[in-house]
Amino acid sequence: MLRLFSFGSGARLTMRTSQDAPLVICGHGMVAQRLIERLVALGHPFNGIVVFNAEPFSAYNRIQLSAFLANDMPEADLALKPRSWFARHKVTVFNHEPVTGISTDQGTVITAAGRVQPYSKLVLATGSRPSSLGIRGEDLEGVSSFRDLADTRALIKTASLHKRAVVIGGGFLGLEAAEGLRARGMAVTVLHRSDYLLNRQLDKTAGELLKGLLAQRGLNILTGQSPAALLGKDRVTAIQLQDDTVLSTDLVVIATGITPNIDLALDAGLQCDKGICVDGRMRTSHPAVYALGECCQFGSHTFGLVEPGFQQAQVLAQHLCQPSEATEFSPGAIATRLKISGIPIFSCGRVQSGPATEDIQWHDRPEHRYGRLLIEQGQLVGAVFMGDTANGHWYADLIDSGQDISGYRDTIAFGQPYCEASA
């Protein structure tokens, strides 16, 4: 089992001037941990690093929660670093002690335990929370999300006691939850309001292909369906759909999106929109306060994937340690690399064609392979693959760079080795 541990005592920390105070980080998810590791590697200038974490567990691999749920990985393997690593690098972590208030005038934070901690710089990595459906019955026992280790433990316990589950949401997180519960022996139905699965990452052909493959593995998938209410007295017993169909169930998992956690920043007077607004240095509207990961917003973009969060961590670490050499964050084309029930999936850039789009598609039905490239004005603007994703990195680089592909337009579908050999 993943160990629960805290670093440091429960006593109040001694007040110090902001110049002598440590770097303080609110939150300890994967992105916050990546920031800490980069700061350590660059030889940061701070008088220690103090982390306040709402969860009772130090940073763990959230990406592998689906493997833990499916019983493909032991819980102990989720931990990102052992306790000794934090002590060796003078990183003090207070688990189960979130920050509840920020005084930018005083340069301090206050925690749920009443601890007052000065900071020289402050980083908000408060993450996000599951979005609400806004329907009756969401507060019933047996209604869960699938966001963290506590959720995963609860789902595993429920799967050992009950047999039927409904997952609301056919995005990546919902499909991972569904497959994990199926692997635990539950009969699982997936509800997805769009006409096809993974509609943000795939086109309709790939989404329908994925639906068929998952159905062969035992999932019941209902697309074009939305819940109207969750039914039950104390515990959920059924779900009512918009067309008044009623499905009996013992468990409902809601996986329909996330909402950035911005309340702490709002209360501190920081500029917020959908997320905490940051510039290319990951700096908020206060020069000593930064934000990154799922809680932040850059331009009009918020971020639900870990990869842009890792990019933000690299940028922020450079700005804090080596400002003269630092670059600025730019979201660019974020590639999505997934594996659902053993099926590799890749998506980058646009997934829908426009009036001026050239479309290249191929489909190997016996091998369950599908590919699609979207080209406009001599540039690759989108790529979708299922089954064979070996050239995904190359296509993502082409999309991100915007380079002219006219010289190998006719052979681009064959991948990087073929195009380079024929150049």
DSSP collapsed to 3 states, the chain: CCCCCCCCCCCCCCCCCCCCCCEEEECCCHHHHHHHHHHHHHCCCCCCEEEECCCCCCCECHHHHHHHHCCCCCHHHHECCCHHHHHHCCEEEECCCCEEEEECCCCEEEECCCCEEECCEEEECCCEEECCCCCECCCCECEECCCCHHHHHHHHHHHHHCCEEEEECCCHHHHHHHHHHHHCCCEEEEEECCCCCCCCCCCHHHHHHHHHHHHHCCCEEEECCCEEEEECCCECCEEEECCCCEEECCEEEECCCEEECCHHHHHCCCCECCCEEECCCCECCCCCEEECHHHEEECCEECCCHHHHHHHHHHHHHHHHCHHHCCCCCCCCCCEEEEECCEEEEEEECCCCCCCCEEEEEEECCCCEEEEEEEECCEEEEEEEECCCCCHHHHHHHHHHCCCCHHHHHHHHHCHHHHHHHC
Fold classification of 23-129+258-325 is FAD/NAD(P)-binding domain (3.50.50)
pLDDT of residue 35: 98
Are the folds of 23-129+258-325 and 143-254 the same? yes
Distance between first and last Cα of the chain = 53
Model-level pTM? 0.89
Going across the sheet that includes 238-241, the strands are: 227-231, 238-241, 246-248
- Please tell me the CATH code under which domain 336-422 is placed: 3.30.390.30
Cα–Cα distances (Å) from 62 to 80, 91, 295, 345, 383, in that order, read 10, 21, 16, 19, 26
Structure tokens at 123: 């980083």
pLDDT of residue 19: 67
Ordered by start, the domain boundaries in the chain are 23-129+258-325, 143-254, 336-422
pLDDT of residue 4: 40
pLDDT (tens digit per residue) in 326-345 = 899 988 767 888 888 788 99
Question: What is the chain's length?
Answer: 423
Q: Which CATH class is domain 143-254?
A: alpha beta
Phi (first) and psi of residue 168, to 5 degrees? -100, 110
How many other C-beta atoms are found inside a 10 Å radius of the C-beta of residue 232?
18
125 in Cβ contact with 24 (< 8 Å): no
Rounded CA-CA distance 112/55 in Å is: 12
State the greatest distance between any 2 C-alpha atoms of the chain, in Å, as a whole number. 68
Sign of the Cα torsion 363, 365, 366, 369 reads: positive
Digitized pLDDT (tens) for each residue of the chain, 423 residues in all: 454 444 443 434 434 446 689 999 999 999 999 999 999 999 999 999 999 999 999 999 999 999 999 999 999 999 999 999 999 999 999 999 999 999 999 999 999 999 999 999 999 999 999 999 999 999 999 999 999 999 999 999 999 999 999 999 999 999 999 999 999 999 999 999 999 999 989 999 999 999 999 999 999 999 999 999 999 999 999 999 999 999 999 999 999 989 999 999 999 999 999 999 999 999 999 999 999 999 999 999 999 889 999 999 999 999 999 998 889 998 876 788 888 878 899 999 988 888 888 999 999 888 889 999 999 999 999 999 999 898 899 999 999 888 998 888 888 988 888 887 766
How, if at all, do strands 289-291 and 91-94 pair?
Answer: unpaired
Cα–Cα distances (Å) from 104 to 206, 211, 268, in that order, read 49, 50, 7
